[in-house]
Amino acid sequence: MLTCRQFVSGLNDYLDGPLDAASRARFDRHVGACPRCRIVCDTTRKTIQLYKTCLPGGVPPALEARLMAALRARWH
């Protein structure tokens, strides 16, 4: 059985699918038995789904100018 730390550490691979069958089965067992990791997994999965449905948006020109001025002031 995986620890919660191991589960969270490998969550990206679990959600993205590059795990081998034995590792996937270990992750499946853990998420099935651990309510906290199930919440983390479900929340992460939903966040990724929401992110993928968002249309790219631009930064308003006035905000971009202020950000760039702040960055220039900070790094010069």
Question: Is the pLDDT at 76 greater than 80, yes or no?
Answer: no
How far apart are the C-alpha atoms of 29 and 52, rounded to whole Å? 27
Where in the sequence is the domain holding 49, given as residue range(s)?
4-75
When pLDDT is cut at 50, 70 and 90, the band that residue 39 belongs to is very high
pLDDT of residue 54: 84
Looking at the structure of the chain, the number of domains it has is 1
CATH number at residue 57: 1.10.10
pTM equals: 0.68
pLDDT above 70 covers a percentage of the chain that reads 100
Residues, the chain, total?
Answer: 76
Query: What average pLDDT does this structure show over 12-19?
Result: 92
